[in-house]
Structure 1
Amino acid sequence: MSKRIRFRNLAEAERLAKRRLPRAVWLAVKAGNEQGWTLDENIQAFNELGFSPTVFDRPTRIDTKTSLLGLDIDFPVVISPVGAQAIHPDGEVGVARAAARAGTAVGLSSWASDPVQDVARANDKTIFQLYWVGTKAEIEARVEAARAAGAKALIVTLDWSHTPRRDWGVPPAPPSDMKLRTMTELAPEALSRPLWFGSYLRRGRIPDLKVPNLFELDGSTPYFGAAWSRFEETPAPTWDDVKWLRELWGGPFMVKGINTIKDAKLCVDLGADAIGVSNHGGNNIDGSPSPLRYLPSIVDAVGDQVEVTLDGGIRRGSDVVKALALGARAVFVGRAFLYGLAVNGEDGVHEVLQILRSGIRETMFGIGRSSIGELSREDLMVLNPHFFVPPAS
């Protein structure tokens, strides 16, 4: 493991990650789409909800355990599937180990740098996330590979609009490979962060930007850029396609990218076990509001039929409590754990999870709730009258 670097909160982890990573890598982690309005909005929405602390009847013990997609987890925070985690040599396997140490599940992206077999060995609560790339035969082969590797649940992510524009100079996607020309172009930035670059040299693991979980039928592993081109050429899946995928998998199944009651009800109709209320962390359509604003209405519509999760803008334990009070079963975190990974690999991710866990417990103590099942909208105070929260039914 890497040398332990402590940070007191996620804001400090973010500052340390920015200092450590090459500029292009940092911007790829931080960026939202276009001007980044939705990226900022995801965080702002949480600031429009507050709590009413109590000083009497405070709990003597706090239970944060829950379950999601048939998996028992120690607290309601799950690692979000994020592609190309080659920002630290520990990669996705290190993230999976950190999640296992914290007693929670890990989502693994189709675009990951590490294969699902290695990640599932590191964490027996691995959830494989699938993008609709290529033919049905290729998709079926990847699903079966995830099953054979020991993945316990499947997520299909649908919230991507193929608009990778950024107003502040972020590359639309990683380069197609790490051949001489690409390495020459990236070398000055890598050398500008000697500690970051040296960590790869010491481990003998230079990122090659291959995506092993998007393997082709002949067994070959494409580079990120080639797989991305294939992704853009593949027609978006229909409702029937997703239903086919759900039946093919057969186990716990989640659809990610839901923002409307209509889509949530369609997910229920196809037999989904869970839905993810999400705008892809601000990387889908810039100008779409925070999923936190959609959450209460979606929970009211389908929350008794399907597990509802949320991601986007989670930066502290109190944010998690707000989402749960509005009806989320659990939350997924993306950038938050990436900051920890960039700073200190597996240990950094574990530190982020511990900070979130502590924040959840501290907030619950302050509002007098002993278990996450007790949380409700009555625990929240709406600070912005335009943030509509329907009364609890």
Structure 2
Amino acid sequence: MASTRDWFETVAEAQRRAKKRLPRGVYLALVAGAEAGVTMDDNVAAFGELRFRPHIADLPAERSLATTVMGQDVSMPVLISPTGVQAVHPDGELAVARAARDAGVAMGLSSFASKPVEQVGKEIDQLLFQSYWVGSRDDILARAERARAAGAKGLIVTLDWVFDSRRDWGSPWIPERLDVPAMLRYAPQVVHKPNYLWTWLRSGHLPDLGVPNLGSRDAAVPTFFGAYGQWMGSPQPTWDDLAWLREQWGGPFMVKGITRADDARRAVDIGATAISVSNHGGNNLDSTPASIRNLPGVADAVGDQIEVLLDGGVRRGSDVVKALALGAKAVMIGRAYLWGMAAGGQRGVTNVLEILRQGVSETLLGLGKSSVHEVNRDDVIVPAGFALDLKA
């Protein structure tokens, strides 16, 4: 179908609509990458270096996209990656949860989310809770148990992050809280985005920059930067810490942020269910290669001992299939659904998921595959030097 006011055909169009609708500072927060953005740009560009080897006859009339990830049966190999405070729309993570539920995909909810896990858990059954290593072991376990009580089926520990907010083009200003000085500073941007302003006015409240999932359910809600400060002040985890948390949690457990074969093998050693090959969307150490470049080496290092996912740069259904061909069981998306939500709320997130679903199905058809489980490396042409040697 052609694009309409309420429907867009590509993730790129969702991004254009998001840029048109959002205040400049909010939009820049979505597209920011560390330092020069080398990794962020490579995450997307690297997919274009891979080529398909299609078939032309005996193509399957029907294609199955269903798979299982972290114990969850999902309708396609696409999961919602956890992202922090979502000020692009008043419904935030609740809109994402409803869209994911309706699409039959699992959702990762950030511990830095703007909506309490208890509210989100009421909207979707296939919920995975994400935590950074913030606070003591007791703090981290209490956070995980709170999520379990709210319905979380799996735990994601995100480790692909350094505390670097520098951008060569400058970082957007993000207020500690939306007090009068902050609103006055943002007013020149917001006044030029009447649709964004009207959406928030209709909701009856202003963007909430609190982080309600970091502490206990009844604890005072820290601000985003208050939570960030706690994070920066926490000792970095050891593999023994991660093994302890995996054992305490006892259910599906993902280590997010793998880029090396040796780290992937350590995740296997501690009994993790899954790993995500990820560089935090280009917001980790800049000049780290694109996630898709690291994927084959990581997948070869661990074989079928652990589920391997990819996070970073996915914009099309064909990108999903390329990741599957190089060893991923599924992918996780971040900016794509945030742009969709900015463009159209819950409907926009649904729109993005449907774009990916159709793209995966069409790519399977071209490759002559009847299932996502049939995709393999013979289906893609990988240029020399693309896949990094991660044997060490």
TM-score strictly above 0.5? yes
Aligned to 1:97: 98
Counterpart Cα distance in 1 of 2:367 and 2:388:
19
Counterpart Cα distance in 1 of 2:214 and 2:245:
16
Aligned to 2:387: 388
Counterpart Cα distance in 2 of 1:389 and 1:263:
15
Aligned to 1:264: 264
Q: Map residues 354-365 of structure 1 onto 2, 5 A cutoff.
A: 354-365=354-365
Gaps of 5+ in 1: none
Aligned to 1:130: 131
Gaps of 5+ in 2: none
- How many residues were matched structurally? 386
- Equivalent position SS for 2:213: helix
CA positional deviation for 1:188:
2.0
Aligned to 1:200: 200
- Equivalent position SS for 2:122: helix
Aligned to 2:225: 225
Further displaced range: 243-252 or 184-193: 184-193
Counterpart Cα distance in 2 of 1:175 and 1:294:
36
Q: What RMSD over aligned residues (CA atoms) do the two structures have, in Å?
A: 1.5
Aligned to 1:285: 285
Aligned to 1:23: 24
Counterpart Cα distance in 2 of 1:379 and 1:12:
28
- Equivalent position SS for 1:122: coil
Equivalent AA in structure 1 for residue 385 of structure 2: H
The answer to whether the 8 A contact 2:110-2:129 is kept is yes
The answer to whether the 8 A contact 2:258-2:275 is kept is yes
TM-score computed with the length of structure 1 as normaliser: 0.96
After superposition, give the CA deviation of every residue in 1:329-371 in whole Å (9 maximum; x if it has no partner): 1000000111100000100000000000000000000110000
Q: Map residues 172-321 of structure 1 onto 2, 5 A cutoff.
A: 174-215=174-215, 219-321=219-321
Counterpart Cα distance in 1 of 2:51 and 2:178:
47
Counterpart Cα distance in 2 of 1:251 and 1:6:
38
CA positional deviation for 1:301:
1.2
The answer to whether the 8 A contact 2:129-2:156 is kept is yes
Aligned to 1:115: 116
Q: 1:88 to 1:217 in 2, by over 3 A?
A: closer
Aligned to 1:63: 64
Find runs of 4+ consecutive structure 1 residues off by over 3 angstroms: none
Counterpart Cα distance in 1 of 2:347 and 2:375:
30
Equivalent AA in structure 1 for residue 161 of structure 2: W
Equivalent AA in structure 2 for residue 199 of structure 1: T
Corresponding position: 1:342 with 2:378 = no
Aligned to 2:39: 38
Equivalent AA in structure 2 for residue 294 of structure 1: N
Q: Percent identity?
A: 54
After superposition, give the CA deviation of every residue in 1:247-273 in whole Å (9 maximum; x if it has no partner): 111110000000001100110111100
CA positional deviation for 1:175:
2.3
Counterpart Cα distance in 1 of 2:111 and 2:132:
6
CA positional deviation for 1:151:
0.4
Counterpart Cα distance in 2 of 1:341 and 1:263:
34
CA positional deviation for 1:389:
7.8
CA positional deviation for 1:216:
5.5
The answer to whether the 8 A contact 1:81-1:129 is kept is yes
- Equivalent position SS for 1:61: coil
Aligned to 1:149: 150
Q: Map residues 6-17 of structure 1 onto 2, 5 A cutoff.
A: 6-17=7-18
- Equivalent position SS for 1:213: coil
- Equivalent position SS for 1:257: strand
Corresponding position: 1:79 with 2:49 = no
CA positional deviation for 1:125:
0.3
Counterpart Cα distance in 1 of 2:87 and 2:123:
17
After superposition, give the CA deviation of every residue in 1:234-259 in whole Å (9 maximum; x if it has no partner): 11111111111111111100000000
CA positional deviation for 1:298:
1.0
